[in-house]
Structure 1
Amino acid sequence: MFDPFTISVILIVIMTIMGLSVGLAMMAGVIVFLLLNGYDTSLGAETLLQGLFNGYTLISIPLFILAADIMNLGTLSDRLLRFSQALVGRFKGGLGHVNVVSSVIFSGMSGSAIADAVGMGRIIIGMMTRDGKYTPAYAAAITAASATIGPIIPPSIPMVLYALISNTSIGFLFAAGIFPGLLMALVLIIMNSIIAHKRDIGTDEATKLSEFPRVTARAFPALMLPVILLGGIYSGITTPTEAAAVAAFYALVISVVAYRSVSVRQFYQTLVQSSRSTASVGILVAGALAFNFVIAREGIPDSIASYLAQYEMSKITFLITINLLILALGCVLEGGAILLIIVPIFIPTAQLLGIDMIHFGVIVLVNSMLGLITPPYGMLLFVVSSITGTPIQKIIREVLPFLLALLVALVFINAAPDFVLYLPRALGYQG
């Protein structure tokens, strides 16, 4: 009644709904597909291993995760927050601005929206709710919204995954994310300022100008991490994977030597936590690599490209369709799953329509991040709800203005490829 591909997809959906991880569900679906088609099941394992062995850039993922986890240790987050507060805390709605700016700074170290929300988010939410100026729901909402910037400004784990499936340069992808990430921060600050004036939220305690050099000096070693990371990549001294290793080592050195805030026990616990996070990403990548073999064997991407070509779909119509699709999927799927399963299906069509792959990657990434705060099932909404103990319904009401502001930024990112590609081109990108 159903062909093997349909049966495998149905099986994957059912197993995911039942609570199995998406990666394991995809592996099970691939095995069923191979068995029903009479293939040797070792073909799936061979495809998976070839994908992993050829994916040298995947090594950077556990290193970025480790660097972020180390940066979350000790006093480093406090120093970065104090620096952000010195920069923008004096303005109306100051701690809301601090929340956004700290996310921008920390995004240059973590590459993960969840890491930003859990690491910096826990501290800044406590600061915002301490004196009652901000409700827990509002603090949670702006924390979730600003955490979406994390994977857009480099380094970025989702960008590494997109580079894997699209055969694009990680270095140019990293460069392409900087301006869009800063634009997202700008619209969030503007929205926070509007809400602060509307609700008459008072200004927070301002840092004296005489104290600013001292605050900057205390945060300086941490602030240098993205400079070292990106400087190594764009100067050609290191590959992105090597730069990730340097970032992890540097994070450890400044935490242990400069800040003296990490014990042996804490470092061991960080290694365990990073290993678990890496295993989770690894299972997803392995499952997606195996399932992409099934998609390629069935000719799904070429079929979709041919189907859309029949209707002479324009570039604008295609981008609108992709935006709506990924935003909708982002409500129920993790961003990595969207990148590894859904996006490869549409890459041939995007290339056929002449859409730049770097620009397309940024569009896809921003969409998948906004899906994390799109009601009713955005993952970041649940994360900040658990941090604050606030019912998710209250957080949803507060996050909607920030989601609207980010959607405005997304429209501009779609409509202005030159804005996205300015830095990559300045660094030698020919697209």
Structure 2
Amino acid sequence: MNLTSPFSLAIVAITALAFLGLPIGLSMMVGSILYLFMSGADMGTVAEQFLNGMYSNYIILAVPLFVLAAEFMNIGSMTERLLTFCNVLVGRFRGGLAQVNVVQSIVFAGMSGSAIADAAGSGKMMQNMMTRDGRYTPSYAAALTAVTSVIGPIIPPSIPMVIYALVSDASIGYLFLAGMVPGLLMAALQMMQVAITARRKNFPVEEAVPLREIPMITWRAFPALMMPVVLLGCIYSGITTPTEAAALASAYALVISIVIYRSISFAAFYDALKVSSKTTASIGMLIAGSLVFNYVVTVENIPDSLRVVMTSWDLSPTGFLILVNVILLLLGCVLEGTAILLIIVPVFIPTAQALGIDMVHFGVMVVVNIMLGLITPPYGLLLFIMTNISGAPVKDIIGDALPFLFWMIVCLLLITFIPDMVLWLPRMFGYQG
């Protein structure tokens, strides 16, 4: 490759600016504009194509709407009521609060679609509950909250799957269905690890909830528990599109918190809008930068060139999936997950299609990889979030997270080598892949 070519200089510019601390979205914009300027491209034509592509991608609207739904849940009392309900289910076992942490992530997975929203919302409450009176160490509580939070974007709805659908044209509805079994499998493996550790370290047993209180606790949590039922029911019945369902989720969370739970003040509502706007702006800048850079990559014919190179290696579909897993796991150690989805994954898609790999199966495998990156050192965004929340040293959190990371990699291998485990549920709903 010519090191003085416009594309090479654009890559150098993006890398240098990112290392200097400029957000990766802005770095990609600057590098892409440099490429367009040096290659003599018509900026007006490029901008027109870019805007036309943006206006036709209504799917992008689902991202801010799911973010807003998660914020409405956090400022209301939905989170607290759901945690109480989860304690009824598994709190009576040894290490019960740790098991509650896993179960609440399954419940919240059907609502927010974001691992970071899960960790920052219900994760704060779980951290306080587990460390109260010294029942669990801060590092173990933080590690468990981090690893359970990655379940959220695997079980529908899922913001990473929405973004993958944007770059791959895969069906969001079938992607959501395909994430159900892998997400539940991952949760089961985490609960098994909690049980093993609970016996070895003699974790405390929580006081059992009296039977007479269970109906009232369930009734109080029922409106919140119905949120994923309403959301997914509307999508799979065809009543709404996934984007419309995201808007419905936001409205449902707001109405339940105001009308039934009466737990949202105007100040809290304003703060939720402000936080959601900031988060959406951050994600939007990253999407915008990646779309411009993907235009540059397409002009340079990088995906097809990579497909030709990989085809020349005579890789089998299984060999290609193993290679992609290794690359994504390594990149997850140093790059943010959304950036990987928007920059790296589109390069692999033509090769995957040429090898006959199902795009829904490939998407679930990619999303699980990216979720593992959130708890993989040295980047591990969730590890640093939980360090700030818990005050525990990051090295202690990493040490407590490693057993869970092992089982999550086992889950990833099962997903990779047994596509039917991912695809059987979508096929039951008519998927032909």
Give TM-score, length-normalised by structure 1.
0.98
Distance between the aligned counterparts of 1:71 and 1:389, measured in 2?
25
Deviations 1:314-345 (CA, angstroms, capped at 9, x unpaired): 11111111111111111221111111100000
1:409 aligned partner: 411
| % identity of equivalent residues | 56
Q: What does 1:205-244 correspond to in 2, within 5 Å?
A: 205-244=207-246
2:117 aligned partner: 115
1:291 aligned partner: 293
Q: 1:350 aligns with which of 348, 352, 362?
A: 352
Deviations 1:285-330 (CA, angstroms, capped at 9, x unpaired): 1111111101110111101111111111011111111111111111
1:316 aligned partner: 318
| Counterpart code for 1:116 | D
| Counterpart code for 2:332 | G
Q: 2:266 aligns with which of 264, 267, 270?
A: 264
What is the SS of the residue equivalent to 1:154? coil
Cα distance, 1:12 vs structure 2: 0.7
| Counterpart code for 1:260 | R
- Kindly indicate whether the alpha-carbon contact (under 8 Å) linking 1:84 and 1:102 is maintained by their aligned counterparts in 2: yes
| Counterpart code for 1:36 | M
Q: What does 1:1-400 correspond to in 2, within 5 Å?
A: 1-400=3-402
| Counterpart code for 2:237 | S
- Kindly indicate whether the alpha-carbon contact (under 8 Å) linking 2:66 and 2:113 is maintained by their aligned counterparts in 1: yes
Distance between the aligned counterparts of 2:25 and 2:308, measured in 1?
29
Distance between the aligned counterparts of 1:265 and 1:317, measured in 2?
54
- Kindly indicate whether the alpha-carbon contact (under 8 Å) linking 1:331 and 1:378 is maintained by their aligned counterparts in 2: yes
| Shift >4 Å, 4+ stretches | none
Distance between the aligned counterparts of 1:387 and 1:287, measured in 2?
30
What is the SS of the residue equivalent to 1:110? coil
- Kindly indicate whether the alpha-carbon contact (under 8 Å) linking 1:121 and 1:143 is maintained by their aligned counterparts in 2: yes
| Counterpart code for 1:199 | K
- Kindly indicate whether the alpha-carbon contact (under 8 Å) linking 2:329 and 2:372 is maintained by their aligned counterparts in 1: yes
Distance between the aligned counterparts of 1:324 and 1:161, measured in 2?
21
Cα distance, 1:43 vs structure 2: 3.9
Tell me whether 35-44 or 221-230 shows the greater mean CA deviation: 35-44
- Kindly indicate whether the alpha-carbon contact (under 8 Å) linking 1:31 and 1:44 is maintained by their aligned counterparts in 2: no
What is the SS of the residue equivalent to 2:432? coil
Cα distance, 1:2 vs structure 2: 2.1
Distance between the aligned counterparts of 1:30 and 1:361, measured in 2?
26
Distance between the aligned counterparts of 1:421 and 1:309, measured in 2?
26
Cα distance, 1:13 vs structure 2: 1.1
Distance between the aligned counterparts of 2:264 and 2:340, measured in 1?
36
Which ranges of structure 1 fall in alignment gaps of 5 or more residues? none
Cα distance, 1:402 vs structure 2: 0.7
Distance between the aligned counterparts of 1:412 and 1:395, measured in 2?
26
| Two-structure CA RMSD over aligned residues (Å) | 1.0
